[in-house]
Structure 1
Amino acid sequence: MKNMKRIAALGLSAVLAATALAGCGSSSSTSTSTDSSASTGDTAAADTSASTGDKVKLTLGSWTSQPEVLQDLIDAYEAENPNVEIDIQITPYKGGEYWTKLEASAGGGTAPDVFWLNVLHIDSYADGGILADMTDAVAASDIKYNFPESLVNSFVRDGKNYATPKDFDTNALWYNKDLFDQAGVAYPTDDMSYEDLVALATELKDKLPDGIYPFACPVDFQTWYYQTVYANGGWILNDDKTETGYADPKTQEGIQCWIDMIDAGLSPNASTLAETGSDAMFEAGQIAMTLAGSYMVEEYSENEIIKDVIDCVEMPTFNGIEDNCINGLGYAVYEGSKNKDEAIKFAIWLASAEAQKLQGESGSVISARFDAQDLFAKAYPQYHLEAYTNHSDIAYPLPVCMNAAELYDMEATWLTKAYTGEMSLADACAQLKTEADALLAK
């Protein structure tokens, strides 16, 4: 097939997401599959996209660990559309298995009719001819007015809409109340600046037990330095994705601020964080404050060590600017679907008020629609999770390109040298820009 050649040429399975969004989905008409039949192009897999009698049969591909939530959505849709029957196809996300299977099945003409797509893969998949153009359907819906503009536009390429928004993740500042109480220091607040964060960490430093740090500054793009880079007027990719902004002093200032905290002893060093991880250290009570994406809430809430002694506040501002990075998950439609119109109709419905409410009430993710975002906080009333949604409408979109995974790897390699003091940030960024711009030129 033509698309198979394009997919193979792109080497899409190498494009593994550096971040993931948690998702969800259970009942009689749905079969949950975790085998690899779709990747073999077998007849049974092909038949799942075909009409059977008076029923239009669709498949929905995801990597969710909560299929009951997806089943609730399917039950509601099938009740309103009795001519449609939808099966769930679940593939593990770990190790890129979801993407490998999706690409193989797309090449064989048996991909799910509707499937989860994150923004890290949209460039490659749109170029590979996998994604159906949903522009007209999106224009005829209320999506434009009911979702963060940056999130909707994350799924637009060359003026074409390739997915409807499902959920998103932003970031917040988490803190351990027990450690603050032991130190006799006031808790963080929503209205803090970066300077306030540094002052708070400095106040904590000499009052915490040995081996416990005030804060954590790992080499993390989405949750740490992209946010301050953009709030500082810096940039990572230009509009046509032909050049990187690592040489811009404003970009470097947005990265240097975190290195400064390590140098001041307010955070474990980069090597320690690379080995153990900031989340693991926070969950072990070894860090008083950390930044975390909304996808960490479920894990934090189930951790017996910290779940009853933690809370969160909004990201500190940087240079007076709200600094938060938004990453999104959407519902895409397979271009080769045998029932593409019906699949697009289902994908549009999944962005409706009804569907987003059903998803949001599960507390599994932040439903992307404005009128359902508050349901995430209501699912965990013990925490101040409004910190994730209060300014979602002005959050900075995650910068992505055809080579996003490789770009992030390059960043980690070179910026780690600056975080560890092996070389200056200016020198590391100069080397990074040379390699990254060459990558974009491929």
Structure 2
Amino acid sequence: MKKALTIILVLCLVFSSVFAQGTKEEAATTAVGTTTLKWALWDIASTTYYEPLIKAYEAKNPNVKIEMLDLGSADFMTMLRTQLSGGDSSIDVVTIKDIPGYNNLVKGNLLMNLNDKIKSENVDLSLYGGTTDQISVDSKLYGIPFRSDFWVVFYNKDVFDKAGVAYPDNDMTFAEYDALARKMTSGTGAGKVYGAHYHTWRSAVQLFGILDGKNTIVDGTYNFLKPYYEMILSQQKDGIVQNYATLRTSSTHYSGVFYNNSVAMMNMGSWFIATLINQIDQGKTEVKNWGLVKYPHAEGVPAGTTLGTITSLGVSNASKKKDAAFDFVKFVTGPEGAQIIAKTGTIPSIKDAEVVKIIASKPGFPADQNSKDALQVAKTYLEMPLHERAGEIEVVLNQVHDEIMTNNISVDAGLAKLNEQVQKILAK
């Protein structure tokens, strides 16, 4: 009995010593002022830029630790809104995946107004190509873009060389673009080369019309789209581009028509750059020599005006570490973060000379200067601007686009239908 009591006493002393040591270590950690920030995001395993961003920031700020919270991709904005609405103060940094979700977070007072911090920290909003203006709500900004894809024109150098035609350049008006597409169309049957290509997304056609900055896709009046629909339907009728209805019914992917040397030019998002390089590297495409140029534009519109999508970072209103959280947001969304993102092959929101140099130096990127210059944009308009009825408007835009492009309705009748139906949505 005495031996048993002795053993129990010894064990108690050992455990108390261990717990005491643990308490001392916790106290020491608190004493040095370590701040832990939780970053809500998605797809940790498949996203290449999270870790290098965190490592770089923690190296510069040794008293700050960044923890990632993966809420999944499919329902990310819904999951995020649910947690923040429930008063979860553990989330500090918020990734904003889309514009409708951003609108919901702002309306729910779930994001911090960043205006004061932007002013006091001298954040240069001119670096973001006008996108911060487009996501301001009553002149208040609740998120700063950190990555952005934008539309360019991909072209097949071998197809142009074979035709003996000069490559497209970085300053094409729509009239020049149309003329070049017609000039580059040749052949028949399986060997036909189309001068241009439009994927079946409405954005590949409708958003030509907003590049002059005079209209948006959510205004409720759409007569400004008429010349662009007429141009593309004329190209379709003349065999300059593939038939929309055929592309829809066959579920043809835009990459396939570019990979098999059947199109000279294709307007598409910058996300296709990394994919194309990878496919060429693996020998999975017939295309070997390609280039990029800036998007075509209307007369009087600066070359390099384009369309884009953004992913932004914000600070949770419930966070108890708002200053520290904003400092991390400023780093990720700033020039230094942009360079780190670019090194992973992803397009950041800031596209300064150093970022362009990093992307253009990646193995497989075209060596010509025009392709490098195409990465520098003058102004980027959001594909879907900030609007509380954006989801409902999108449904109508898609439906009528399909009807116009399949010739089930005339351009005039289609635009009248858009005007009527979207105005009803706006009047709700």
Shift of the alpha carbon at 1:433? 1.9
Shift of the alpha carbon at 1:326? 3.2
Say which SS state the counterpart of residue 118 (structure 2) adopts: helix
Match of 1:256 in 2: 230
- Paired residues of 1:234 and 1:251 also in contact (CA < 8 A): no
Corresponding letter in the other structure for 1:419: M
Shift of the alpha carbon at 1:127? 0.8
Aligned pairs for 1:178-327 within 5 A = 178-207=158-187, 209-210=190-191, 212-231=193-212, 233-237=214-218, 243-246=219-222, 248=223, 250-274=224-248, 275-303=251-279, 304-306=284-286, 308-321=288-301, 322=303, 323-327=305-309
Corresponding letter in the other structure for 1:333: V
Report whether the alignment pairs 1:86 with 2:66: yes
Match of 1:115 in 2: 94
CA distance in 2, matches of 1:223, 1:389: 19
Provide the alpha-carbon RMSD of the alignment: 2.7
Unaligned runs of at least 5 residues, structure 2: 1-28
- Paired residues of 1:146 and 1:370 also in contact (CA < 8 A): no
Task: Please give the TM-score of this superposition, normalised by the length of structure 2.
Answer: 0.80
Unaligned runs of at least 5 residues, structure 1: 1-51, 238-242
- Paired residues of 1:183 and 1:207 also in contact (CA < 8 A): no
Match of 1:75 in 2: 55
Corresponding letter in the other structure for 1:354: E
CA distance in 2, matches of 1:137, 1:306: 51
Match of 1:410 in 2: 396
Task: From the superposition, tell whether residues 316 and 149 of structure 1 become closer, same or farther in structure 2 (CA, over 3 Å).
Answer: closer
Aligned pairs for 1:342-357 within 5 A = 342-357=324-339
Pick the structure with greater CA Rg.
2
Cα deviations by residue, 1:276-312 (Å, 9 ceiling, x for unpaired): 1323322343322211111121111112305532221
Corresponding letter in the other structure for 1:433: N
Corresponding letter in the other structure for 2:42: W
CA distance in 2, matches of 1:273, 1:204: 20
- Paired residues of 1:114 and 1:332 also in contact (CA < 8 A): yes
CA distance in 1, matches of 2:363, 2:392: 36
CA distance in 2, matches of 1:333, 1:306: 46
User: Could you tell which deviates more after superposition, 100-109 or 404-413?
Assistant: 100-109
Corresponding letter in the other structure for 1:379: K
User: Could you tell which deviates more after superposition, 432-441 or 318-327?
Assistant: 318-327
- Paired residues of 2:191 and 2:262 also in contact (CA < 8 A): no
- Paired residues of 1:360 and 1:376 also in contact (CA < 8 A): yes
User: Could you tell which deviates more after superposition, 156-165 or 353-362?
Assistant: 353-362
CA distance in 2, matches of 1:272, 1:414: 17
- Paired residues of 1:410 and 1:432 also in contact (CA < 8 A): yes
Aligned length: 381
Match of 1:331 in 2: 313
Match of 1:377 in 2: 360
Shift of the alpha carbon at 1:414? 0.6
Match of 2:39 in 1: 60
CA distance in 2, matches of 1:415, 1:71: 41
Task: From the superposition, tell whether residues 307 and 125 of structure 1 become closer, same or farther in structure 2 (CA, over 3 Å).
Answer: farther
CA distance in 1, matches of 2:108, 2:374: 34
Match of 2:5 in 1: none
CA distance in 2, matches of 1:351, 1:234: 28
Task: Please give the TM-score of this superposition, normalised by the length of structure 1.
Answer: 0.77
